[in-house]
């Protein structure tokens, strides 16, 4: 596999020029977020991911995790534990956590870029800190002070890791069906009993203690999602004063044999009266769960971004080096036995698709990350409310579309290699296998689509969408007379207008038949994603022209944007047709054979 190289120039461009991160962080009074410090963090993040994590990617895929059935222990691939110790030693586990809890208090937006580097260099390894980050957010927002002191600090400094134990064998994504029980004990603890599946990092050899955040039902809990509570269940019994004792009654029963991400331990976890502590109020676990889930959804979107960039890097290098066939217009390298693959138009189509979707997605994802920073740090209630609305709107788009595009782009990259892409030594087939899970875990694309259209648009009346449409309309108005931008502004304004009209049409149809939302949702999600990326590509061209960049960089941005608008944005026509075809185009399938 080609060695990973962090695209620092484009990352800085997205962070500073397009998103305006430096000014935002100053406004939010994030003292550590000075440009020289952030640049140093990016440089060190690139070094760590390129030299430590990157070389372990193929090893993790080929060796995988090993489960000891007699003890329940899981051994991660060679080098994974050492890499984690270096990760902790470098302070990465607490990069964005509050200083009051032992973190470095850097912006989540900067953390998102480091996350992309980790995902691109070694997706399976990066799953472990991903789940810890979700646990940090849940404990930070919902935990009692003693829980923060005992558990949160230990996860932030990397001594312990965290998990999310939500899914059960019979329930899948339908959390209202979960059966795991929580029986109150006399000492204000709870005995947790049940089985959870697909638990990332449920068992491993990185740390002695693993802090499981487990959804369960109290004896008197109402049915459905209204009866869900969240509990802290440590692998090792941990007292309120932080004293660690004997092994708790929680054990890894097996690990899944998966299509990809073999270096990530995906566990079946059995709780047999394990001692746990309630987080928050009884039967109010769903709110804490969604704190974890939404954090994880944005993080999985970044996984899709990392895979797009890694696949693009490999395919671009190979296509420049590999000679095969001649250009249709005549030999471009007559001194060679054949021309490089990049002379062929369809190779360039695939490469530019990866580049356009990847670089556009980077800005989209960072925009969502800035909403997290505003929500966490702004002292203005109106700004925080607006950021919350925007973040809710963007989260299903980032998670759903960046992962779907990662499947498309790893496909294109593998295709550029031809037969060599299908064999293991080049690494493309691993990326394709690893990418496939990203559209499934932390909520499938269909779930993201229903969240976007059913909840964020219909139930919440499109509060975040109205903001986003306002941003696009303002940008178009400001640039409508700019001759350098008009080629992007006119089509952007048109698809944005159609987006609003399409939304109204779906809402009108759904008012008489709720099934219309389910029928339209996925096409609507894709339509939204393509329009969002068109906006950020137009913004990227404007930022490149306004910034201190060389001519080649500016030309590259403009040409990639032109490709996006000419070749990719027209996909909205297919998706609008899908939305408008309605539920009547989906005939019912008889239950009986």
Q: What is the DSSP string of 409-467?
A: HHHHHHHHTGGGGGSGGGSHHHHHHHHHHHTTTTS-HHHHHHIIIIIIIIITTTHHHHH
Domain residue spans of the chain: 8-156, 161-285, 460-588
Say if residues 180 and 164 touch (Cβ distance below 8 Å).
no
DSSP tag of 451: I
Residue 590 has pLDDT above 80, yes or no: yes
Amino acid 355: pLDDT: 98
The answer to whether the 8-156 and 161-285 domains have the same CATH topology is: no
Tell me the β-bridge partners of 586. Answer: none
Return all residues near 40 (Cβ < 8 A) that are at least 6 apart.
none
Q: 161-285 domain in CATH 2.60.40.420?
A: no
Phi, psi values for residue 212, rounded to 5°: -90, 130
Taken in order 53, 56, 61, 64, the sign of the CA dihedral is negative
Tokens representing 364 are 């989209």
pTM for the structure as a whole: 0.96
Q: Running DSSP on this structure, what letter comes out for residue 518?
A: H
- Can you give the pLDDT at residue 1? 67
The strand pairing partners of 509, in sequence order, are none
Query: What percent of the chain clears pLDDT 90, i.e. is strictly above it?
Result: 93
Average pLDDT over residues 186-191: 95
By C-alpha distance, which of 371, 300, 306, 11 is closest to 130? 300
pLDDT digits (tens, 9 = 90+) for 311-364: 999 999 999 999 999 999 999 999 999 999 999 999 999 999 999 999 999 999
Neighbours of 331 (CB within 10 A): 12
The residue among 123, 95, 358 whose CA lies nearest residue 259 is 123
CB 58 within 8 A of CB 427: yes
**Sign of dihedral through CA atoms 571, 573, 576, 580?**
negative
- 428: Cβ contacts below 8 Å, ≥ 6 apart: 1, 311, 314, 315, 410, 413, 414, 417, 420, 421, 422
| Exposure class string for 418-440: b at 16+ Cβ within 10 A, else e | eeebeeeebbbbbbbbbbbbbbe
Other beta carbons within 10 angstroms of residue 258's beta carbon come to: 17
Cα–Cα distance list, 235 to 187, 201, 238 (Å): 19, 12, 9
Q: Under the phi-then-psi rule, with left for phi > 0, alpha for psi from -120 to 50, and beta for the rest, what region is 105?
A: left
Closest CA to 124 of 201, 220, 202, 215: 201
* Cα distance between residue 131 and residue 449, in whole Å: 23
Residue with token string 């068992």: 203
**Residue 443, token pair as written in the block:** 């909520």
Determine whether 442 is an active site residue. Answer: yes
Containing H/E element for 164? strand 161-165
CA dist 28 and 259 (Å) reads 43
User: Using one digit for the tens of pLDDT, what is the confidence trace for 373-397?
Assistant: 999 999 999 999 999 999 999 999 9
pLDDT digits (tens, 9 = 90+) for 248-301: 999 999 999 999 999 999 999 999 999 999 999 999 998 888 888 888 899 999
User: CA 209, CA 238: separation in Å to the nearest integer?
Assistant: 9
Distance of CA 7 to the CA centre of its chain: 18
d(CA 425, CA 441): 27
Q: Which of 442, 494, 516, 559 is catalytic?
A: 442
Per-residue pLDDT at 593: 61
Which residue has 């069906």 as its token pair?
177
Q: How far apart are CA 441 and CA 463, in angstroms?
A: 27
Mean pLDDT taken over the chain: 96
Kindly indicate the confidence band of residue 485, based on its pLDDT and cuts at 50, 70 and 90.
Answer: very high
| CATH number attached to the domain at 8-156 | 1.10.540.10
List pLDDT tens digits, range 78-121.
999 999 999 999 999 999 999 999 999 999 999 999 999 999 99
**The pLDDT of residue 57 is above 90:** yes
Burial class, 361, CB count within 10 angstroms (exposed 0-12 / middle 13-18 / buried 19+): buried
Task: Give Cα separations from 268 to 69, 122, 250, 377, 575 (angstroms).
Answer: 12, 23, 11, 37, 38
Per-residue pLDDT band for 592 (boundaries 50, 70, 90) equals low
pLDDT by residue (tens digit) across 217-244?
Answer: 999 999 988 999 999 999 999 999 999 9
Mean pLDDT score, 434-439: 98
């Amino acid at each position: 596999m080609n060695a990973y190289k962090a695209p620092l120039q484009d990352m800085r461009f997205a962070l500073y020029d397009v998103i305006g991160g430096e000014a935002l962080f100053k406004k939010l009074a994030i003292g550590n977020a000075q440009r020289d410090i952030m640049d140093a963090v990016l440089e060190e993040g690139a070094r760590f991911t390129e030299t430590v994590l990157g070389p372990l990617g193929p090893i993790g895929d080929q060796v995988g995790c090993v489960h000891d059935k007699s003890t329940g222990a899981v051994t991660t691939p060679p080098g994974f534990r050492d890499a984690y110790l270096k990760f902790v030693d470098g302070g990465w586990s607490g990069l964005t956590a509050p200083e009051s809890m032992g973190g470095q208090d850097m912006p989540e937006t900067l953390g998102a870029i480091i996350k992309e580097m980790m995902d691109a260099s070694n997706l399976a390894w990066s799953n472990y800190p991903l789940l810890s980050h979700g646990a940090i957010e849940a404990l930070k927002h919902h935990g009692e002070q003693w829980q923060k002191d005992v558990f949160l600090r230990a996860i932030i400094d990397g001594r312990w890791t965290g998990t999310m134990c939500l899914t059960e064998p019979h329930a899948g994504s339908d959390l209202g069906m979960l059966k795991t029980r929580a029986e109150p004990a006399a000492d204000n603890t709870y005995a947790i009993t049940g089985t959870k599946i697909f638990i990332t990092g449920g068992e491993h050899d990185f740390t002695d203690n693993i802090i499981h955040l487990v959804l369960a039902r109290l004896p008197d809990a109402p049915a459905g999602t209204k009866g869900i509570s969240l509990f802290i269940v440590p692998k090792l019994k941990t007292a309120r004063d932080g004293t660690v004792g004997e092994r708790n009654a929680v054990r890894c029963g097996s690990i899944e044999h998966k299509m990809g991400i073999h270096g990530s331990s995906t566990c079946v976890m059995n709780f047999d009266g394990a001692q746990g502590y309630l987080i928050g109020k009884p039967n109010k676990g769903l709110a804490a769960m969604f704190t974890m889930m939404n954090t994880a959804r944005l993080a999985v979107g970044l996984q899709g971004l990392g895979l797009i960039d890694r696949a693009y890097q490999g395919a671009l290098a190979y296509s420049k080096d590999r000679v095969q066939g001649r250009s249709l217009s005549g030999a471009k390298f007559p001194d060679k036995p054949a021309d490089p693959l990049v002379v062929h138009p369809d190779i360039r189509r695939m490469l530019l698709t990866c580049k356009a979707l990847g670089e556009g997605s980077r800005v989209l994802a960072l925009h969502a990350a800035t909403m997290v920073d505003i929500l966490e740090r702004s002292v203005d209630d109106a700004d925080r409310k607006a950021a919350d609305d925007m973040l809710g709107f963007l989260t299903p788009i980032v998670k759903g579309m960046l992962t779907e595009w990662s499947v498309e782009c790893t496909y294109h990259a593998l295709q550029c290699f031809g037969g060599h892409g299908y064999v293991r030594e080049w690494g493309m087939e691993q990326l394709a296998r690893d990418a496939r899970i990203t559209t499934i875990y932390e909520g499938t694309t269909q779930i993201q689509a229903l969240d976007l259209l059913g909840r964020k648009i219909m139930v919440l009346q499109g509060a975040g969408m109205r903001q986003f449409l306002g941003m696009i309309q303002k940008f178009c108005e400001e640039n409508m007379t700019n001759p350098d931008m008009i080629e992007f502004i006119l089509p952007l304004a048109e698809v944005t207008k159609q987006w609003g009209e399409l939304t109204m049409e779906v809402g009108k149809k759904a008012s008489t038949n709720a099934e219309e939302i389910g029928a339209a949702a996925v096409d609507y999600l894709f339509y939204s994603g393509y329009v969002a990326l068109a906006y950020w590509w137009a913004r990227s061209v404007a930022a490149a022209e306004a910034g201190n960049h060389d001519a080649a960089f500016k030309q590259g941005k403009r040409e990639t944007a032109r490709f996006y608008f000419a070749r990719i944005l027209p996909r909205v026509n297919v998706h609008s047709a899908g939305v408008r075809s309605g539920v009547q185009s989906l005939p019912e399938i008889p239950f009986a054979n």
